Amino acid sequence: MLQFDAEILENRRLSTDFFQMELAWDPGAGRPEPGQFMTVRAGEGSAPLLRRPFAFSGFSGSGGSSRAAFIYQLRGPATRLLAGRRAGDSVDVLGPLGHGFPAAADFAAEGSRPLLAAGGVGLGPLLFLAAEIREEQTAPPPLILGFRDADAIPELDFPRGTEICTDDGSAGFHGTPTDWISYCGPLAGPRENRRICACGPGPMLSSLARLVAERLWRGSFSAEAWMACGVGACYGCAIERADGRGFFRVCSDGPVFDSEEIKW
């Protein structure tokens, strides 16, 4: 983990309200893992006061030529400030933070086949994970992406094996990623050893957690929560444990958890 000023290499609009920012990454910060995140100070002054957390959507290069990317959605003043930044500007970054998804080699070690699912802006860490898995395995993992409608689908080169779902049926499958996995994928029975890696809104993760339990699969889910500090000091991102023994801090205990650990 390192705090540094990162040069913006690219900041481009992907859809109506999705953007992707690429940064020059300081090698002293170390290489991020899929599922980890950074916090960014959106403005140059004291406003907005709090840093904003963004999951890595990709990483490339080595040493002084490393590039890190994150996908963000226009949601308020901070993300509007970020959308106005241009290549050559710099932003104050702290990262990488948190615990990520299992490494690509871990799937082979446990004998499971990965299935990746994302909703909305949650697609970023799953794109990163898909790229890492493709480097280790010949066959790309199934990647199921859900969006509100066709206008929300970002203009990206999705990997082979990607299925698009929309809530209103304006593009791809009419339904959610959970619906697609339940009814349309070649994954109908519980006998196949699967690990679902997912990131998205709480209701999506809740429905996927039920599906994982029903089919006796495994799940690694990245929780979305409001974070104030990003380092586990303030407990502003507490999420209830499934065993009733209090709370986890999403930023430092996660953001990726085994699906059965959380009361989704």
Q: Check residue 191 and give its pLDDT.
A: 58
Q: Which residue has the tokens 């002084």?
A: 64
Query: What is the pLDDT of the chain when averaged over all its residues?
Result: 92
Q: Check residue 108 and give its pLDDT.
A: 80
Q: Check residue 3 and give its pLDDT.
A: 96
| DSSP helix/strand/coil, 42 | coil
pLDDT at 71 over 60: yes
Q: Check residue 33 and give its pLDDT.
A: 97
Structural fold of domain 2-97: Elongation Factor Tu (Ef-tu); domain 3 (2.40.30)
Q: Check residue 187 and give its pLDDT.
A: 54
What's the CATH number of domain 104-222, 3.60.15.10, 3.30.70.1230, 3.40.50.300, 3.40.50.80? 3.40.50.80
Report which of 184, 196, 176 is spatially closest to residue 258, judged by C-alpha positions.
Answer: 196
Neighbours of 178 (CB within 10 A): 25
Angle at 176 (CA atoms; ends 172, 14), nearest 5 degrees: 60
Cα(231)–Cα(39) distance, integer angstroms: 10
Give Dmax over CA atoms of the chain in angstroms.
55
**Residue 11 to residues 20, 108, 150, Cα–Cα distance (Å):** 6, 36, 22
Q: Check residue 202 and give its pLDDT.
A: 93
Strand partners, 15: none
The arithmetic mean of pLDDT across residues 85-94, rounded, is 96
Q: What would the pLDDT profile of 33-66 be if each residue is shown by its tens digit?
A: 999 999 999 887 777 888 999 999 999 998 889 9
CB 58 within 8 A of CB 125: no
More confident residue, 140 or 81: 81
Strand partners, 256: 222
Lowest-confidence range among 64-78, 142-156, 225-239, 243-257? 225-239
Q: Check residue 112 and give its pLDDT.
A: 83
Q: What would the pLDDT profile of 178-206 be if each residue is shown by its tens digit?
A: 999 998 765 545 557 889 999 999 999 99
Q: What would the pLDDT profile of 222-247 be if each residue is shown by its tens digit?
A: 998 888 888 989 888 999 999 999 99
More confident residue, 91 or 228: 91
Strand partners, 67: 24, 60
pLDDT at 207 over 70: yes
pLDDT at 134 over 90: no
Q: Where are the domains of the chain?
A: 2-97, 104-222
